[in-house]
Amino acid sequence: MKKLVNLLGSMAAFITSILIICTFTTTYQFYYVGQIFNSYVPIQLGVCITMAILGIRFLLNETGKKRIIYSSFSFTISVSLIFFMMNLVKWTM
Residue 91 lies in a domain: no
pLDDT in tens, 21-73: 999 999 888 888 888 888 888 999 999 999 999 999 999 998 899 899 999 99
Count of alpha carbons within 13 Å of 1, Cβ hemisphere only?
A: 6
Sign, CA dihedral 37-43-48-49, equals: positive
Residue 25 lies in a domain: yes
CA–CA separation, 14 and 8 (whole Å):
10
Residue 92 lies in a domain: no
Domain tally for the chain?
1
Residue 93 lies in a domain: no
- pLDDT exceeds cutoff 80 at 92: no
Residue 12 lies in a domain: yes
Residue 34 lies in a domain: yes
Residue 18 lies in a domain: yes
Please provide residue 64's backbone torsions phi and psi, each rounded to the nearest 5 degrees: 70, -145
Residue 54 lies in a domain: yes
Q: Give me the domain span that covers residue 26.
A: 2-85
